[in-house]
Amino acid sequence: MDRAAIWRVAVEAPLADTLDYLPPLDPPPAGSRPGLRLLVPFGRGARVGILIEVVDQSAHPADKLRRVERVLDPEPLFDVLDLRLLAWAAAYYQQPLGAALFAALPARLRTPEPLSVETAPGLRATESGRAVDLETLSRAPKQRALLDALRSEPEGLTLGELTARLGDSQSAIRTLRSKGWITDVQLARAPDPVTETPPLAGPELHAEQQAAVEAVQAAFGAFGAFLLDGVTGSGKTEVYIRLIESVIAQGRQALVVVPEIGLTPQLRERFRTRLPGPIAVLHSALKASERERNWLRAARGEANLILGTRSAVLAPIPRLGLIVVDEEHDDSFKQQDGLRYSGRDLAVRRAQLAGCPVVLGSATPSLETLRNAKLGRYGWLRLTKRAGGARAPTISILDIRNQPLRAGLSPVLRAHMHAELAAGNQILLFLNRRGYAPVLTCHACGWVGECPHCDARLTLHLSERRLWCHHCGWSCPQPDLCPACRRPELQMLGRGTERLEEELVALFPETRIARLDRDSTRRRGELGRVLDAVHRGEIQILLGTQMLAKGHDFPGVTLVGVLELDQALYASDFRAAERIAQLIVQVAGRAGRAERPGRVVLQTRHPEHPLLQSLLREGYSGFAEAALRERAEAELPPYSHLALARAESPNPEDALAFLRQAHELGERLAADSGAIQLLGPIPAPMERRAGRHRAQLLIQCAERPRLQGFLTRWVNEVRTLPRRKGLRWSLDVDPRDL
Ligand code: ADP
Ligand code: ZN
Ligand code: ZN
């Protein structure tokens, strides 16, 4: 048998390893290059696979090997660097290689479909159009020129090409089309190169921005990680733009990842007016065909700038010269199923592999990133002033113990609100709970509305007259009588945004009030409509959930009220305080402008809480210092590394029992080193969810490589444990939620 005759292929299947195949009978014209998309026999069917490498020997006898059915594309979709990144991600997150590769592919390319051919609308002369004597059109020069041009091109011309040759010819096109002399066609052609207006010039950089730009530019062509630590409005985006401009000028591509889909249109528009295109946008809300087209433009090196949400970090980008992760602290960078990766952490790894700088920007850096900056692993670039000269908002605490609350608002906050409204200013109220009331209960017998599938209460949504479970999506009509005792004694306890809105309307009549939460923005375009109305000054009070803190600016807002943060201060998740501090500072940063600085008021029953106090006295950096000290004492991340094994099953005991076995296995494997700690298993914070019983086992270790080594050995063995029917388990490396 000839050498180098075994193709090692990754497929999307729950396998730890690649599979060996014989090469296809028709060898690919461009050679057997890694990254090629293939169709391979698998079980009784066929699957898409990616060629990983060509080797000369297989552990299996050659007569047992099956043959690759065919090569699907003329060129590999991934290059060697892409494959290295994805292999790293698979190993790090303890997933099969196929899981990482297929997470990186647009949906259609996970099937044996061919790559889509790009088409552009165009026109072609018909038989009768070709037979016409052009002289008969001498009185209609536009029609004559158009027909002449089309007759000279047997395939036809795209509308863009026609406009370039003849200028606007809409009416001539209509006339010739109605005569049947020309016809509409789709031409297999890349879309017309947009005749871009030359990019607008930006403002002159201030000294801190200039220093940041120069520091990163000095790292071009080699790996370097930077924290761009700057309050909202300090000009971080302006720094990104300059950096992207200079990598594009060097003939390289830039990748910008953002946490939220909602942020891409504004940012895209800003980039479009400032940077020489083309820009490829990548996120899950795009139509599948559009996403695939943009992905291919990134992969073929045609797009100068790739702007997307976390999965864009996995896309092939052959000429990558710079990565920017905006709002790097945001939890949305963490993928919560399948390949449970952190888009931010992969961005840093990718920059290392590609040998290019990565810039992590935030007004409220994550504690992990701050520690890396403190240790000098990341360059620490600070922007301390707001670019437009706006002053930072003040943050203050309102002790609401023993205060008569109306609509959850203390008298002081209400007085502030009246004063701001009288002065013509806008107000933002933040309540992180949607729906009308989080509890429906019976005053007569004590019945409480609970989800039949989860350990959770049902939230009343009054406008829909339904009770909803926010954890599994189950719902039922709102009962009129108590389901238990049939008496009309049902009471709504607590307050969600829907109720707050209703109460505000009563408290502040004549005031225009709007609400932003997942329910109010379900209709397409609604979010944009509300934000526009706020910007035009048509809304005076805007209330909503954490959606308010995500990237939207509210220059007319001078007062921000945070209604309930006590829950977050005492939540079981050790990251809860970090999240609430980030949220407060983010909302604060988006309010106010130069002449009218914003003020943030936090209502609490725990005014002495140490983390709140440090946030108040020393701002976010003071808070972060205090929080890092707490983490160090408790040996929590970033001072240790975590992995969380989760199991769930239809039967109450199975998940716990499975993880107990996994624990024992782990104890045996880790016996040689006391460095690995296995904690649990314990029931998950919500033990039953969507009808399944859940448990979790925490693995903790101070040293990353040791943890990684342990996990690889352990996961291999846990996979072989017997599993009761319906039991599912998964491992989450660097979990965000415990
Ligand atoms: P961030 O991304 O940190 O929130 P931006 O880059 O969006 O900040 O800047 C905030 C505002 O200030 C924008 O309107 C931007 O155009 C403007 N700006 C940024 N840098 C400068 C500068 N050097 N001179 C004048 N205006 C600037
Ligand atoms: Zn009752
Ligand atoms: Zn439920």
Confidence at residue 671, expressed as pLDDT on a 0 to 100 scale: 76
Alpha helices in 93-169, H assignment, sequence order: 97-104, 127-131, 141-151, 159-166
Give the residue among 609, 228, 195 at the shortest CA–CA distance from 384: 228
Q: Could you tell me which residue, 512 or 16, shows the higher pLDDT?
A: 512
Give the tokens for residue 338: 């399948």
Q: Provide the residue count of the chain.
A: 738
Average pLDDT, the chain: 91
pLDDT score of 627 more than 90: yes
Q: For residue 239, report the distance from its CA to the centre of ligand 1, in Å.
A: 9
DSSP strand pairing (119-125 vs 182-188): antiparallel
Q: For residue 687, report the distance from its CA to the centre of ligand 1, in Å.
A: 47
Q: Going by CATH, does the domain composed of 6-110 fall within 3.40.1440.60?
A: yes
pLDDT score of 574 more than 80: yes
Residue with CA closest to ligand 1 atom 20 = 235
The CATH number of the structural domain formed by 207-383 is 3.40.50.300
Angle 236-249/264-274 helices, nearest 10 degrees?
Answer: 50
pLDDT score of 190 more than 70: no
pLDDT score of 306 more than 90: yes
* H or E element at residue 372: helix 367-374
Taking a C-beta distance cutoff of 8 angstroms, is the pair 34, 81 a contact? no
> At the topology level of CATH, where does 641-733 sit?
Alpha-Beta Plaits (3.30.70)
Taking the CA atoms of the chain, what radius of gyration do you get in angstroms?
30
Give the tokens for residue 179: 């005569």
Pocket flag, ligand 1, residue 235 (CB < 6 Å): yes
CA-CA distance, 63 to 39, in Å (whole number)? 20
3-state secondary structure of 488: coil
**Across residues 695-720, what is the average pLDDT?**
94
| Residue whose entry in the numeric block shows the structure tokens 């840093």 | 348
Q: Cα-Cα-Cα-Cα dihedral of 521, 522, 526, 528, to 10°?
A: 70
Q: Residue 122 — very low, low, confident or very high, per pLDDT cuts 50/70/90?
A: confident
Low-confidence winner among 146-150, 442-446, 545-549 (lowest mean pLDDT)? 545-549
Cα-based distances in Å from 627 to 427, 610, 635: 30, 10, 12
Confidence at residue 1, expressed as pLDDT on a 0 to 100 scale: 45
CA-CA distance, 636 to 625, in Å (whole number)? 14
Pocket flag, ligand 1, residue 230 (CB < 6 Å): yes
Residue with CA closest to ligand 1 atom 15 = 235
pLDDT score of 148 more than 80: yes
Atom of ligand 1 nearest to the CA of 232: 4
pLDDT score of 189 more than 70: no
**Across residues 132-137, what is the average pLDDT?**
88
Low-confidence winner among 186-190, 255-259, 545-549 (lowest mean pLDDT)? 186-190
CA-CA distance, 465 to 445, in Å (whole number)? 22
Give the residue among 483, 399, 378, 472 at the shortest CA–CA distance from 441: 483
Atom of ligand 1 nearest to the CA of 589: 4
pLDDT score of 655 more than 60: yes
Residue with CA closest to ligand 1 atom 10 = 233
Residue with CA closest to ligand 1 atom 19 = 235
Cα-based distances in Å from 120 to 146, 190, 719: 18, 7, 50
Rounded to 5 degrees, what angle do the CA atoms 169, 193, 247 make? 155
Pocket flag, ligand 1, residue 361 (CB < 6 Å): no
CB atoms within 10 A of CB 633: 9
**Across residues 647-668, what is the average pLDDT?**
95
pLDDT score of 551 more than 80: no
Binding residues for Zn(2+): 442, 445, 451, 454, 469, 472, 482, 485
Chain segment 512-532, per-residue pLDDT in tens: 999 999 999 888 888 889 989
- Asked casually if ipTM beats, i.e. exceeds, 0.95, the reply is yes
Q: For residue 468, report the distance from its CA to the centre of ligand 3, in Å.
A: 8
Q: For residue 236, report the distance from its CA to the centre of ligand 1, in Å.
A: 7
Cα-based distances in Å from 79 to 29, 33, 85, 422: 17, 9, 10, 62
Taking a C-beta distance cutoff of 8 angstroms, is the pair 699, 645 a contact? yes
Low-confidence winner among 16-25, 304-313, 423-432, 498-507 (lowest mean pLDDT)? 16-25
Give the tokens for residue 86: 């994805």
Confidence at residue 206, expressed as pLDDT on a 0 to 100 scale: 94
Closest ligand to residue 551's CA: 1
pLDDT score of 16 more than 70: no
- Ligand 1: residue of 208, 238, 386, 586 to mutate (most ligand atoms within 8 A of CB) is 238
DSSP conformation class of 420:
H
Q: Thinking of the domain 394-435+496-634, which architecture would CATH place it in?
A: 3-Layer(aba) Sandwich (3.40)
Q: For residue 235, report the distance from its CA to the centre of ligand 1, in Å.
A: 4
**Across residues 732-736, what is the average pLDDT?**
96
pLDDT score of 631 more than 90: yes
| Residue whose entry in the numeric block shows the structure tokens 């409220």 | 364
The sheet with strand 253-257 has its strands ordered as 279-282, 305-308, 253-257, 320-326, 357-362, 224-230, 379-383
Confidence at residue 564, expressed as pLDDT on a 0 to 100 scale: 84
pLDDT score of 118 more than 50: yes
Q: Residue 430 — very low, low, confident or very high, per pLDDT cuts 50/70/90?
A: very high
